[in-house]
Structure 1
Amino acid sequence: MDTDSFENIVIHGTKDTAVTFLDKNRENVKEYKISIFREISVFNDLKATYQAYQILKKERPDVIHSHSAKGGIIGRVLGPLLGIKVIYTPHAFSYLSAQSKLKRGVFLGIEKMLEKRTSLLLATSNSERKRAIEEVGFDPQNIIVFNNCIEPISKIEPLSIPKTWPDNYVCTVGRPSYQKNIEHMIRVMNEVNKEAKIHLVVMGVGPVSDQLESVKSLIQELDMDEDVTLLSWTQRTDVFNIIDQSKLYISTARYEGLPYAVIESLALSKPCVVTNCDGNRDLIIDGFNGFVVNEGVIQFKEKILELLRDEKLLERMSKNSQQVFAKNFSIKSNIKQLETIYKSYN
């Protein structure tokens, strides 16, 4: 962002990142760490809310931009109390993660309750906008779509970790969880390997991977130990290197906001085969820069095999991916839109 017109202050969790935030001039951005964690905890959540209140009272920002479930709740509770306008970006509404009707109803109820305390919903995709209107009840006039964006990837750094997988592979980024549905991916790749031997590299198997044991059990059950590599959290440059050297990118997610890993794959000219869910369908144009498929194993398998077997199709979709990225998802092109939005809610 333009440092002459904007000052950014970041409030985030104590365990989110150890990397310092920098502005466009490579100067440190002011940041505060509070007790905000992914897991629900009455003590920590109340503590985080109080900590955020003290920070906001001290800093008196012109606008609060709240991200994701916990940040969205805290920002929209505190903003009106302090007379500060609140912009909210869900990055996939929290109720989509609920596996029970009761939990989904509770989370959806919280979103509906806080809708009136939101100055603007800044949706990451058209799918997220549609869901906000039809399910949460937002006024369409109170929503703007601002795509998640990244900088163009101009250089691929060497791997900082040992390469333990073969050269012929496909990849994905996503912790083993209900959202990412990695078990489905394992089943798909098991079918693919019956017709064309290719490895799967799964990146992002970090500490918050509640279905990791389920994924490992399925890999053993299908005798795929030699066909799958599960990589723990690593540097972002390593992720770029692994995507860049892969044949294609795949996603079996049940829902998304607008997934950065798919955007990064487009920036690296990779065709993607993805499930037909929010976020994925906003990035992949079926038949142009990849395939959007329903959750069935067979259709998913067939689309992966189609790309692996047709070099010309793979090359054409690779070029199209880079074209889609440059047109829609480069932060260098889109940052002015975000600046304009912030100014309008000053």
Structure 2
Amino acid sequence: MIKMKVCFVAAVDSTVKVFLVDHIKAISQFFSVDIAVNTPNKSFLKPFDVDVPVVQIGIKREISIFSDAKTVIELYALFRRKRYDIVHSVTPKAGLLSMIAGYLANVPVRIHIFTGQVWVTRKGLSRWFLKTLDRILVLCATHILVDSRSQRDFLIEQGIVSNKKSSVLADGSICGVDTDKFSPNVEARKRIRKEYGISESDVVFLYLGRLNRDKGLLDLAHSFNEVCSKYDNTHLVIVGPDEQGVGEEVESICASCKQKVHIAGYTDVPEQYFASADVFCLPSYREGFGVVIIQAASAGIPSIGTKIYGVVDTIEDGKTGLLYHPRDVDGLTSKMIEMIKRPDLRKMMGTNARIRASEKFSKGIATKALVDYYKSLLLAGN
């Protein structure tokens, strides 16, 4: 029996490694899968025990008319040559270019998944232009997935997608969470805390993700500076690649308590940092789906997050964490202090969070939902 052919398209290999590995493993049991991505390393999936063809495509993150047109031509030629049944894109730039190319190549099923919108925090012409690109993407796609229900509602309200054309799989999330990997770990907790000189009785607030201003890190710095001045048993650990020199700004804001602020940089073992923390903080201004929140939840850690689409899907306010309005530094400070004062609340929320992550957002649930979605499209004749 000839397998249906699927091509996943992403701008960078890290997107594939973080979000698509489990999907590829499951889908390749039923479909013939290729990966189109901008990487010279065609063996980058070998360490994950994934053996599928990788096609290097020159997708660049920045906008360039000449480069982007060239990439569309490359993708068009690939799609025509391989005659895929499904093209599935992840991330905005890969989505726009592959949906245009897929439309021109007449690929039967063209799926893009929205994982957040850059234009949400933009204004004026920049916002209009980026929204227009998303509208073009949607016009060229046959099906749109959105990785959270609140984000889908927002996109419908903004006129980007229609109710009929868009879907959310299961309870949301592009890939779910590995509940075995992200779990309470006493040894990791002790090791990380010892590395940074943090005692077991201290309260550790954690941020893990890209360091940029849209993530609200400067708000977190101002709040922690206030918290630290009142509670000497607190620490702030920040983990992730610094894209905008934000780490230095955080250290400057927290100069009076700099010995309590630990900026760790990029890590290959995020699960160990979650295990070491007491509270996870995501003060973001925009999210598609707060995957780091469900990772924290799976590790038994409650979260403090903003009341924005994408985050409200991942935190049950008062049950698995606390929500506050974005950019409200005083509100964030108040929530942090509440977590410090009430270890019983942290424990209760952490327990609830792990149960919810396992029941609603495990990687098995997310992968099964995508496989079933593919099968339903093909059985229905698209």
* TM > 0.5: yes
1:253 shift after superposition? 0.5
Paired residue type of 2:228: N
Partner of 1:109: 132
Which sections of structure 1, spanning at least 5 residues, go unmatched?
none
Residue 194 (structure 1) aligns with: 229
1:101 Cα shift? 1.7
Within 1, Cα distance between the matches of 2:209 and 2:159? 26
> Aligned partners of 1:12, 1:163: CA distance in 2, in Å?
37
Are residues 282 and 18 of structure 1, via their aligned partners in 2, closer, same or farther at CA, if it must alter by over 3 Å? Answer: farther
| Post-superposition offset of 1:140 | 0.4
- Secondary structure of the corresponding residue to residue 215 of structure 2: coil
**Equivalent residue in structure 1 for 2:198, among 161, 166, 179:** 166
CA separation of 1:150 and 1:182: change in aligned 2, threshold 3 A: same
Q: 1:127-168: per-residue Cα shift (whole Å, max 9, x none)?
A: 1111221103422011111222122234758679x9335243
| Shift of residue 2, structure 1, vs aligned partner | 4.6
- CA change 1:2–1:70 in 2 (3 A) is closer
Is it true that 1:246 corresponds to 2:277 in the alignment?
Answer: yes
Structure 2 vs 1, CA of residues 200 and 91 (structure 1 numbering), >3 Å: closer, same or farther? same
2-structure distance, mates of 1:293, 1:331: 28
Aligned counterparts of 1:22 and 1:65: Cα–Cα separation in 2: 23
User: Are 2:59 and 1:36 equivalent residues in the alignment?
Assistant: yes
Aligned counterparts of 1:22 and 1:55: Cα–Cα separation in 2: 26
CA contact (8 A) 1:165 1:199 kept: no
C-alpha distance in structure 2 between counterparts of 1:166 and 1:324, whole Å: 29
Please name the residue that 2:241 is paired with. Answer: 205
Matches of 1:165 and 1:16, distance apart in 2: 39
Moved more, 274-283 or 169-178: 169-178
Partner of 1:256: 287
What do residues 2-34 of structure 1 show as CA deviations (whole Å, max 9, x unaligned)? Answer: 5331232222222899841677xx341222232
Mapped to 1, the partners of 2:40 and 2:127 lie a distance apart of 27
Matched-pair contact (CA < 8 Å) for 1:165–1:229? no
Please give the secondary structure, in 1, of the residue aligned with 2:319. coil
Q: Does 1:153 align with 2:184?
A: no
Correspondent of 1:265 among 279, 291, 296: 296
Residues 1:95 and 2:119 are matched in the alignment: yes
SS at match of 1:92: coil
Asked if residue 230 in structure 1 is aligned to residue 230 in structure 2, the reply is no
CA distance in 1: counterparts of 2:155 and 2:253, whole angstroms: 40
TM-score (norm 1): 0.89
RMSD between aligned residues:
2.6
Give the 5 Å matches for 1:329-344: 329-344=361-376
Q: Aligned letter for 1:292?
A: L
**Cα deviation, residue 217, structure 1:** 3.2
- Change over 3 Å in CA distance of 1:150–1:22 after alignment to 2: farther
Amino acid in structure 2 at the alignment position of 1:339: V
Structure-2 separation of matches of 1:256 and 1:330: 19
Tell me how far apart the structure 1 counterparts of residues 102 and 353 of structure 2 sit (CA, whole Å): 39
Q: Deviations over 1:182-231 (max 9, x none)?
A: 1111111111112223111111124xx12x25x41352244143222222
Extract unaligned runs of 5+ from structure 2. Answer: 1-25
Structure 2 vs 1, CA of residues 332 and 57 (structure 1 numbering), >3 Å: closer, same or farther?
same
What amino acid is the match of 1:226? Answer: Q
1:172 corresponds to which letter in structure 2?
A: Y
The one of 301, 323, 340 equivalent to 2:333 is: 301
CA distance in 2, matches of 1:118, 1:87: 6
Give the corresponding residue for 1:82.
Answer: 105
Please give the TM-score of this superposition, normalised by the length of structure 2.
0.81
In the alignment, structure 1 residue 65 sits paired with structure 2 residue 88: yes
* Change in 2 beyond 3 A, CA 1:202/1:38: farther
Partner SS for 1:292: strand
- Distance across 1 between alignment mates of 2:149 and 2:336: 26
Deviation at 1:305, TM superposition (A): 1.6
Inter-CA distance 165–112: structure 2 relative to 1 (3 Å threshold): farther
| Cα distance in 2 for residues equivalent to 1:101 and 1:21 | 45
Could you tell me the percent identity over the aligned residues?
A: 21
1:131 paired residue among 144, 154, 178: 154
Which piece of structure 1 moves more, 328-337 or 73-82?
Answer: 328-337
For residues 326 and 19 of structure 1, the distance between their equivalents in structure 2, rounded to whole angstroms, comes to 29
**Which residue matches 2:34?**
9
Which amino acid in 2 is paired with 1:150?
V
Secondary structure of 1:121's partner? strand
Preserved CA contact (<8 Å) 1:111 1:136: no
User: What amino acid is aligned across from residue 363 of structure 2 in structure 1?
Assistant: I
- Cα deviation, 1:210-264, whole Å, max 9, x if unaligned, reads 2x25x413522441432222222221xx211011110110001001011221121
Structure-1 separation of matches of 2:43 and 2:235: 32
Separation in 2, partners of 1:97, 1:29: 37
Query: Within 1, Cα distance between the matches of 2:377 and 2:118?
Result: 25
Q: Does the residue aligned with 1:282 lie in a helix, a strand or coil?
A: coil
SS for the counterpart of 1:225 is: helix
- 1:294 Cα offset (Å): 0.8
